[in-house]
Structure 1
Amino acid sequence: MAGQDPGEAAVRQALARYAAAWTSGNLAAIVTCYHDDFTLHYFGQSALSGTHVGKPAALKTLAAFSQRTRRKLMGVTEILAGDRLGAILAREMLMQGEQPIEVDRLLLYRVADGLLIECWVYDQDQRLIDAIIGG
């Protein structure tokens, strides 16, 4: 049932599976980590800011972010897990024009049924992210 707390071990397992897929660049495996009801929350004032409900909408937004920023994962710094929520602290290189910029990003996840069902993205420098993405 999607409303029950999965427990710390299940949250950690879901995030570890996602982090492994992300660090290996395995897009197919990344997509399987998302629940069909996945919701993505992007903050800020950019064209991608807002709440993106459903796996297709969230994936479309993630693809647009990747295209606009030419992002490259530098590494997963930490995985944190609780009974209901977990977090990944990641370092990414984004491109602002031809200028590479490294940023830390905190991705807070809610897990249900062993899958990522909701994500809130907290960026080290939201104004920078907004400037790169544009309005």
Structure 2
Amino acid sequence: MPSQDDTRLTLERYAAAWLKGDLPTLSALYADDIVFTYLGQHGLAGRHEGKPRALAALAEFTRRTGRRLKAVTDVMAGPNLGALVVREAMGPDAVEVTRVLVYTVRGGLMRTCTIYDEDPALIDRLVGDKPL
């Protein structure tokens, strides 16, 4: 059974690791069957099922956008879902955008992640239409 405390603690651990650039901890917090969903019209949009595919999509998204975490502005948690609100710089002009990453957490692991972008058109341009 999911719990608000489990969600909050997991997301706080994730946020702290992300701010430190601690990739092994970030990866360890993903369940083996995690599903990443990127919204938008770009080549990485859609579902990426399983840890290897989700991590590959995440790495490719980072490569294409040049994204850099600037801040985690909010950590929100409920009994079913949690979210991180982050500021990231992207693209050659380092445009800062707000992103909301919504997670399902169970047993201290992230099971799903859906990413909502402040400027979907910018993300579509930066990522391009080439699939993974």
AA partner of residue 110 (structure 1): T
3-state DSSP class of the match of 1:52? strand
3-state DSSP class of the match of 2:42? coil
How many residue pairs were aligned? 129
Look up the match of 1:106. 100
1:35 aligns with 2:31: yes
1:120 is aligned, of 109, 114, 118, to 114
Report Cα offsets for 1:3-58 as digits up to 9, x if no partner.
Answer: x3x21111000100100110000111110110111000001110100000001000
Question: Which ranges of 4 or more aligned residues in structure 1 deviate by more than 3 Å?
Answer: none
Look up the match of 2:69. 73
CA displacement at 1:69 relative to structure 2 = 0.8
CA distance in 1, matches of 2:45, 2:21: 25
TM-score relative to the length of structure 1: 0.94
Query: Tell me, which stretches of 5 or more residues in structure 1 are unaligned?
Result: none
Tell me the C-alpha RMSD between the 2 structures: 0.7
1:57 aligns with 2:53: yes
Query: Tell me, which stretches of 5 or more residues in structure 2 are unaligned?
Result: none
3-state DSSP class of the match of 2:96? strand
TM-score relative to the length of structure 2: 0.96
CA displacement at 1:62 relative to structure 2 = 0.1
AA partner of residue 114 (structure 1): G
